[in-house]
Amino acid sequence: EFKRNYFNTDPDQVEHSAVEQEFWRVVSSIDEAVTVEYGADLHVIEHGSGFPRHNQPCVSGVDPKKFDKYANSPWNLNNLPVLDDSVLRHISADISGMKIPWMYAGMCFATFCWHNEDHWSYSINYLHLGEAKTWYGVPGSYAEQFEAAMQKAAPELFESQPDLLHQLVTIMNPNDIMAAGVPVYRTDQKRGEFVITFPRAYHAGFNQGFNFAEACNFAPADWLVIGRECISHYSQLGRTCVFSHDELVCKMAIIFDTLERDMGLVLVKDLSLMVEAERLRRTRALKLGVGNAVHVDFEKLPDDERQCCVCNTTVFLSAVACPCDYTRLVCLDHITRLCSCDSSNYVMKYQLKLDILQNLLVVISSKLCGFGSWTTRVEEAL
């Protein structure tokens, strides 16, 4: 009804290009404002999913075989994040919006601002019904150039809010972004179509009219290394993590025998990076005078009780505290910013001893090499 009244014609007769042109005209106008509503981030457990789910009975009048087919389909967004080849299945928590899909009820001009996904994961969006959703996307390889262009356009905002792009409140015309040398691509997602975004790829858009969509995240093997880069980036911005990347990697390493070979290859690479970085950090901690150590089961602590008070990263392998305030933790990168006490008083809290981490790496590396040798012999025999 809104679209009919706004354009004074049948909504089906309004071209996508006309809505797009009007959208950016209003956005760029200083004197004009249009108010719309967007039912965003609706949890499927509370509001229901557009896909059939395992824990719900077959809908009356629907063929039970078809119901089961779609309920078990890997393209069902309730299943996709936790498929065998998705890293997210190894996270025990049901992370809303990532592992658990969100629903989106849109209307004409309802907007999703420029952002990329949590932990630079992949995302997938399915349009169940209604009018198209217009998307704009920037390749992940241009993320830093995109951020620089946004900061140049509004330096005062980014100075006061360095994590502004993570707040999903910033929109900028794609033409202005392209003028800064950053490529922008667009598409109109129609009913029954999927749109997938890739790691660190910024995207934004708006709805052409009333529609209903569903979205979640997923993370195949190639995401692991990208995810670690993201944690470092979050630390620089002081952004809170959704989960501990190191904890995820350790959980996967423990069940290494159950992983597909491609997943195992990437895991060994990321685990190697993690172990070496931890070795260097603990060596530095000793040089700084941190001689006391105690085991702590970090995985049993709520995330908000194991965050570095400097960079907000979620600690898992180790952290440092001082008896003057044991509730205050820092990661090993920020030991010198813990407090004013002498560092000889500090206590390192660790989840796993370094030799256990190193042995874990050796064991799974040898298993991977053994599998590779077996594969080679089989291929030669064939």
Q: Which domains does the chain have, with CATH numbers?
A: 2-220 (2.60.120.650), 225-381 (no CATH)
Amino acid in the structure at residue 192: G
Cβ within 8 Å of residue 22, ≥6 positions away: 7
CA nearest to 116, candidates 229, 271, 263: 229
- 76 with 70: CB under 8 angstroms? yes
Return the H-helix or E-strand segment holding 263. Answer: helix 261-287
The count of C-alpha atoms lying within 13 angstroms of the C-alpha of 327, restricted to the half-sphere facing its C-beta, is 1
Question: What is this structure's pTM?
Answer: 0.90
**195 is written with which tokens?**
């749109």
| Residues 311/336, Cβ–Cβ less than 8 Å | no
Beta strands in the chain (DSSP E): 39-43, 102-106, 111-115, 122-130, 133-137, 185-189, 194-197, 203-207, 211-218, 292-295, 318-322, 325-330, 347-350
Q: What digits encode the pLDDT tens for the residues 333-374?
A: 999 999 999 999 999 999 999 999 999 999 998 888 765 554
Residue type, 87: V
pLDDT at 380: 52
Angstrom distance (rounded) from CA 210 to CA 7? 14
Question: What pLDDT does 373 receive?
Answer: 52
CA 319 to chain centre: 24
| Cα 204 from Cα 196, distance rounded (Å) | 13
Under-70 pLDDT residues of the chain: 370-382
**Beta strands, E only, 231-278:** none
158 φ, ψ (degrees, to nearest 5): -75, -25
For 276, the 3-state DSSP assignment is helix
Distance in angstroms (rounded) separating the CA atoms of residues 210 and 235: 39
Q: What is the pLDDT of residues 131-150, one digit of tens each?
A: 999 999 999 999 999 999 99
Q: At what angle are helices 245-254 and 354-381 packed, to 10 degrees? A: 50
φ, ψ for residue 83, nearest 5 deg: -65, 165
pLDDT of residue 382: 45
User: How many other C-beta atoms are found inside a 10 Å radius of the C-beta of residue 253?
Assistant: 21
Q: Is 115 left (phi over 0), alpha (psi -120 to 50) or beta?
A: beta
List, in sequence order, every beta strand (DSSP E) within 297-353: 318-322, 325-330, 347-350
Strand partners, 103: 42, 214
> What are the backbone angles phi and psi of residue 335, rounded to the nearest 5°?
-60, -40
